[in-house]
Structure 1
Amino acid sequence: MNKPSRIMTPRMEWRHTMAFRLDPATAIKDPHGIHWGMHPIAWRNDDIPEVGAFNTLDDMLLDLADVGYAGTECAGFFPAKEEVRERAEARGIRIVAQWFSSFILRDGVDAVAKDFEEKCAYLEYLGATRIVVSEQTGSVQGVRDVCIFTDKPVLTEEQWHVLADGLDRLGDIAHAHGLELVYHHHLGTVVQTAEETIRLMELTDPARVSLLFDTGHAYVGAGTVADLLSATIDRVGHVHFKDVRPEKLAESRAAERSFLDSFLSGMFTVPGDGCIDFTEPYRMLVDHGYDQWILVEAEQDPAVANPHEYAVKARAYLESTLFTL
């Protein structure tokens, strides 16, 4: 895909110099001490590499710094770790976490542990504090011809315990590298619904496994945001705030789309641009004393939804609606 043409104004040319970095005076300031970042999936998509392929690590870091987001997660398109650390530090942006696809049920935890430890060491080098884990055995989230709304893998009773025990072991490895394992409930996987998410939290050790709470996946896959958050809030160690366009959700359901085709059609967007009322989950997190990271996230095609524009849109919503509560 060719990079969309744009007219470079003097301001845009200045933004693309190495001297530009996050200014603490203009960065997002949450009145309750929560740290705000934005996920790299707004710029580039690991599941469909051609989506956003024109964006670079520098494009993303410069947009984050310009709009005032202090952190992000790693993505598959990032260069070598030394280069990532140098560039992120130059922009004043924290690397917070990265996704890890586990196949505990397919391969066994012994086989998974080696790659997991390598990823933990990588994140430790970058100064991250979390590692995001999702069990991908049987996952259909990356399959284009499977309806995400009707077809998903389901665990047997024995598999539940194998998965929970395996995650506990990975949690110990994460701790050895100064990281917290946060499990991502996700559309198209074995842990998608509210019942599945709650059960996994009940079966795993709270000292080893936490939850990444994602509002978009909760709304679409679990049918609830506030109820699921209330049931799991003691386990929340990381948060993604993602909104949903209801008309696009209905359209994708009717068309029996896959996860990839649903987000390409515009099902997800940033907070304040969809139907989720974020005041309730935000207030619940604040009242519970949560003061870690919330990352704005929305799987979208950056050729259609300009990441800088949507980063600005999300910040405006945070400051006008959430921070005034």
Structure 2
Amino acid sequence: MIKIANAPCSWGALEFDLEKKSEAIGFAQVLDEIKETGYTGTELGDWGFMPTDPKMLREEIQKRNLELLGAFVPVALADRAAHEEGIKTALKVAELMHSAGYNTAFIVLADDNASNRQRTENAGRITPEMGLSQAQWKIFAEGAEKLAKAVKDNYGLRTVFHHHCAGYVETPEEIDTLLSLTNPELLGLCLDMGHYAFGGGDPLKALDKYAQRIWHVHFKDFDPNAAKRSQEVGGDYFDALSKGVFSELGKGNVNFKGIVERLKAIGYDDWIVVEQDILPGMGAPKKSAQANRRYINKLGL
């Protein structure tokens, strides 16, 4: 049965080192509001956002009758020197989830998004010359596989890769390349509908193309008008976020009705996580979470 979760990033709790990060809502309020708006699961959020003691973490999740289903881990995979530290971070997060009893949770691996100026400034309009070289792709893929293997060997947890605007795996072609270079038994795909659309792709086509590789799903909408407004003023990834490029579900151009039909057709039977990425202090997260849950209800989930 497909289950519906939300994540701390919908409340402005992002992994980026932002000046406004202090304005992010605390974890207790986020968990309360996830529960109150009709979701049954959550992701961990940035390290330290939720308790890092496994007993405390489980108590906080359980007392709201929620499940913990994954944790986002960004690593600068194109830099071989960053691999060792990235693996240590992933193992630390995996150990926390495993020790808290969440043994089916995913490590949601991503590039160290927004750390490269060119990629951040051109999010949503990436050209091939902004991409990795063949040698860099080899390093990137090796790092992703090593991390996924370490997590699986040590804690039995699976790893999915989250393509993401403002990182080196944004466009459909870049996703193709990474998946072609990595072991499908070790590394799955976290298909994020909004990032896939912002990166120039059609999520419905991605569902057909990667059906066997999709282990985890994020529901995020994409507003092309917001993207255009940002592009017209030379805005970067964060400017696009501030203009609402990831709108409430049903207000962008992602065909969620078709996506739900396709997910059922390919036999997807796991979590869908709503992620309406916003900047700290932006919008009315609880109202948006409620609107998004109502929209998903209308889709029959």
Task: Report the TM range for the smaller structure's normalisation.
Answer: 0.7 to 0.9
What is the DSSP-based 3-state SS (H/G/I as helix, E as strand, rest coil) of the residue aligned with 1:284? Answer: helix
C-alpha separation between the residues in 2 aligned to 1:311 and 1:302?
Answer: 15
C-alpha separation between the residues in 1 aligned to 2:144 and 2:285?
Answer: 34
2:3 is the alignment partner of 1:35 = yes
Contact (CA 8 Å) 2:52, 2:96: kept in 1 or not?
no
2:297 is the alignment partner of 1:319 = yes
What is the DSSP-based 3-state SS (H/G/I as helix, E as strand, rest coil) of the residue aligned with 1:273? Answer: coil
2:51 is the alignment partner of 1:73 = no
Contact (CA 8 Å) 1:43, 1:52: kept in 2 or not?
no
Give the TM-score normalised by the residue count of structure 1.
0.82
What is the DSSP-based 3-state SS (H/G/I as helix, E as strand, rest coil) of the residue aligned with 1:62? Answer: helix
Aligned to 2:66: 93
Within 5 A, what are the aligned runs for 1:163-202?
Answer: 163-176=140-153, 177-202=155-180
**2:88 corresponds to which letter in structure 1?**
K
**2:3 corresponds to which letter in structure 1?**
H
2:135 is the alignment partner of 1:158 = yes
**Pick from 98, 105, 110: which aligns with 1:134?**
110
**2:33 corresponds to which letter in structure 1?**
D
C-alpha separation between the residues in 2 aligned to 1:234 and 1:169?
Answer: 21
Question: In 2 relative to 1, CA 300–141 (structure 1 residues): closer, same or farther, beyond 3 Å?
Answer: farther
What is the DSSP-based 3-state SS (H/G/I as helix, E as strand, rest coil) of the residue aligned with 2:161? Answer: strand
Within 5 A, what are the aligned runs for 1:1-325?
Answer: 33-46=1-14, 47=16, 48=18, 50-51=20-21, 53=23, 55-76=25-46, 77-82=49-54, 83-106=56-79, 107=81, 109-126=83-100, 127=102, 129-136=105-112, 139-140=115-116, 146-150=121-125, 153-176=130-153, 177-301=155-279, 303-320=281-298, 322-323=299-300
Shift, 1:315, TM fit = 1.4
Contact (CA 8 Å) 1:63, 1:308: kept in 2 or not?
yes
Contact (CA 8 Å) 2:125, 2:199: kept in 1 or not?
no
Q: Which has the higher contact order (CA 8 A, sep 6+)?
A: 2
C-alpha separation between the residues in 2 aligned to 1:137 and 1:193?
Answer: 14
Contact (CA 8 Å) 2:123, 2:166: kept in 1 or not?
yes
Deviations 1:80-138 (A, max 9, x none): 33433221111111111111111233215344322322222122223151001112288
**1:68 corresponds to which letter in structure 2?**
G
Contact (CA 8 Å) 2:73, 2:90: kept in 1 or not?
yes
Shift, 1:178, TM fit = 2.4
Shift, 1:52, TM fit = 7.0
Contact (CA 8 Å) 1:269, 1:297: kept in 2 or not?
no
**1:318 corresponds to which letter in structure 2?**
I
Question: In 2 relative to 1, CA 108–59 (structure 1 residues): closer, same or farther, beyond 3 Å?
Answer: closer
What is the DSSP-based 3-state SS (H/G/I as helix, E as strand, rest coil) of the residue aligned with 2:235? Answer: coil
Give the TM-score normalised by the residue count of structure 2.
0.88
C-alpha separation between the residues in 2 aligned to 1:215 and 1:281?
Answer: 9
C-alpha separation between the residues in 2 aligned to 1:43 and 1:212?
Answer: 20
Shift, 1:246, TM fit = 2.7
Q: Structure 1 vs Structure 2: percent identity of aligned residues?
A: 26
C-alpha separation between the residues in 2 aligned to 1:49 and 1:317?
Answer: 33
Contact (CA 8 Å) 1:141, 1:260: kept in 2 or not?
no
C-alpha separation between the residues in 2 aligned to 1:39 and 1:173?
Answer: 25
Aligned to 1:11: none
Deviations 1:169-216 (A, max 9, x none): 212122131211100111121111101101211211111000000001
Shift, 1:283, TM fit = 1.4
What is the DSSP-based 3-state SS (H/G/I as helix, E as strand, rest coil) of the residue aligned with 2:150? Answer: helix
Question: In 2 relative to 1, CA 281–224 (structure 1 residues): closer, same or farther, beyond 3 Å?
Answer: same
Shift, 1:301, TM fit = 4.3
C-alpha separation between the residues in 2 aligned to 1:95 and 1:293?
Answer: 11
What is the DSSP-based 3-state SS (H/G/I as helix, E as strand, rest coil) of the residue aligned with 2:151? Answer: helix
Which ranges of structure 2 fall in alignment gaps of 5 or more residues? Answer: none
